Amino acid sequence: MDNPQSWNEVKNCLQVGTKLKGVVTKHFPFGVFVALPEVRFTGLIQISDSKDEGIMLPSDYPAVDSLVDVVVLGFKETGQQIWLDMKPSQLEQSK
């Protein structure tokens, strides 16, 4: 990716299903925020998109500043967020 600057450039460069590495920046009860390389918009892993089975509890969240593998699920126009998934089944199927 050539360091896209606008929201539309990011949406055009990041294809749904693309596997990336990101750094966990924040924890919230509803999920985990992730900084992605060369992208100035935030990624979000929702609780439901983190485990194949069962419910992820806040105590199961990856540590802040840890590197995680994620898959692009889509884009949320409100707040310009990139929806991410870290379920093992999705990571195995990703490109």
Give me the percent of the chain exceeding a pLDDT of 90: 33
pLDDT, residue 29, reads: 84
The CATH code belonging to domain 7-90 is 2.40.50.140
Q: With residue 9 as reference, give the H or E element that holds it.
A: helix 7-13
Where exactly are the structural domains of the chain? 7-90
In tens, the pLDDT along 48-92 reads: 766 777 777 777 888 999 999 999 999 998 888 899 988 877 777
**Token pair for residue 70?**
């994620």
d(CA 93, CA 19): 9
pLDDT, residue 23, reads: 96
